[in-house]
Structure 1
Amino acid sequence: MKRTIIISLFIFSIEWVHAQFAENHAIYLSQELNFGNYIGLNADLNYVYNERFSLKIGYNGNIRKPKSQPEDYSSGLIKVMILGLENPYDQIENYQIAFGKIDRLNKSGTIRINFLVGIGYTIIREPENWQKIDDGSFFFENYTWNYKRNNAASLIINPKIEFPFTSVFGLTVSPMLEINKYRVYYGVGIGTMLGLLRKRKTKPN
């Protein structure tokens, strides 16, 4: 009997803490596909306080066809067969932290804008030193090359449009601008949100 009471109290306390936490706090993950001057992926851990203020810790990774690539470059049949995973790409990665303010666009809170501004650490890798291979064949690429790497701090501007349809699932459209001394990334991410997104509606007695 005592054990049953203790277990019941423990479960009740967890539910109470969860309910109290959900009153003013939200934590969720967002994952997006990016389309812009590069293409790639975005993943964020988001925290929202009182449905007004937000914090994001995220990763953004993107690629594009190299701007420096020779016109007659060929990856060869071997690389085509492995879906071009070893092909040279201009790459840009960003680890970022941003703070924001949330404004509801409708009364129910299912449409809102999360205007985030922050800083990021950007890693840029781009192929250079292209050297043509005289004996290149149909099966292998006809150039050698190596990556040049640059690191920089970036300014992040990321006004997310969020659609938390339920308290645990939603969609997001996420324009983003990353500015640093080497490159500017601009694009739009489209994806999902999973977690504790907003306050749960309580049924009237």
Structure 2
Amino acid sequence: MNKSLILIVLLIFSFNTVKAQFSKDHAIYYSDGLNIGNYVGLDFNLNYVYKEKYSVKIGYIYNTRKPKSQPDDYSSGLANALLFEATNPHDKMENYQLALGKIYSLNESRTIRVNLSIGLGYTVLNEPENWQKIESGFVAENYTWNYERQNTFSLIINPKLEFPFTTIYGLSISPMVQLNKHRSYFGIGVGQMIGVLRSRKN
């Protein structure tokens, strides 16, 4: 057995030892979800769990809805309809969040748990304003507008009922509240979790 093969075997053994020790108390996983409420949105998160008791989450949330300021007679025109209204104006609320949580396991097999998560978000609001009616045919929109951007901070309350069916994949259901001085979001989300979801049993 040459020296390089011995080195490879030692590296593999060391990696497995470190991994086993790490997963004894720690879990790291990716999660995402679809949120539905007074906005519709998506969220993407990186999660860390310590001893299946405490959690830290870093994430991004994107919410959108039909503009509250949109005139009643606004028409997107045939061109936008053919694009499934992709270029239509929307109220947009984005959050870059950091959250802390406390986890409670609800069964002995650890496949159902509650993650009580609360955090802060740096919030970016983009909303159409300055609507100006224009003469247009059947094809084009009948208004012009421009977006107003505002930055603020939000309180994000997001308790989750999590189902880590296996150690690497699970699902979640979660109500969510996002509060700031300009806008609020209330809704519920469904999502998935992928990664190291549970600590290794002793």
TM-score, length basis structure 2: 0.96
Matches within 5 A, 1:38-49: 38-49=39-50
Uncovered stretches (5+) of structure 2, i.e. residues with no partner = none
Per-residue CA deviation, residues 119-144 of structure 1 (Å, 9 max, x unaligned), is 111111111111111x2111000001
Identity %: 59
CA distance in 2: counterparts of 1:146 and 1:5, whole angstroms: 65
Per-residue CA deviation, residues 140-167 of structure 1 (Å, 9 max, x unaligned), is 0000111111111111111011110000
CA distance in 2: counterparts of 1:66 and 1:24, whole angstroms: 46
Q: Which residue of 1 aligns with 2:178?
A: 178
1:201: how far off? 5.3
Letter in structure 1 aligned against 2:78: L
Aligned residue-pair number = 201
Letter in structure 2 aligned against 1:189: G
Letter in structure 2 aligned against 1:124: L
1:83: how far off? 1.6
CA distance in 2: counterparts of 1:165 and 1:62, whole angstroms: 29
Letter in structure 1 aligned against 2:184: V
Q: Which residue of 1 aligns with 2:148?
A: 148
Per-residue CA deviation, residues 87-146 of structure 1 (Å, 9 max, x unaligned), is 00011100110111100011111000111111111111111111111x211100000111
Q: Which residue of 1 aligns with 2:101?
A: 100
Q: Which residue of 2 aligns with 1:6?
A: 7
Superposed structure 1 runs of 4+ greater than 3 Å apart: none
TM-score, length basis structure 1: 0.95
Q: Which residue of 1 aligns with 2:159?
A: 159
Q: Which residue of 2 aligns with 1:36?
A: 37
CA distance in 1: counterparts of 2:131 and 2:148, whole angstroms: 12
Are 2:25 and 2:200, in contact at CA under 8 Å, matched by a contact in 1?
Answer: no
Where 1:4 maps in the other structure, the secondary structure is helix
Matches within 5 A, 1:75-86: 75-86=76-87
Letter in structure 2 aligned against 1:95: Y
CA distance in 1: counterparts of 2:5 and 2:150, whole angstroms: 61
Are 1:42 and 1:189, in contact at CA under 8 Å, matched by a contact in 2?
Answer: no
CA distance in 1: counterparts of 2:149 and 2:118, whole angstroms: 26
1:3: how far off? 2.5
CA distance in 1: counterparts of 2:201 and 2:57, whole angstroms: 25
Letter in structure 2 aligned against 1:101: K
CA distance in 2: counterparts of 1:31 and 1:184, whole angstroms: 21
Are 1:115 and 1:158, in contact at CA under 8 Å, matched by a contact in 2?
Answer: yes
Q: Which residue of 1 aligns with 2:112?
A: 111
Letter in structure 2 aligned against 1:176: M
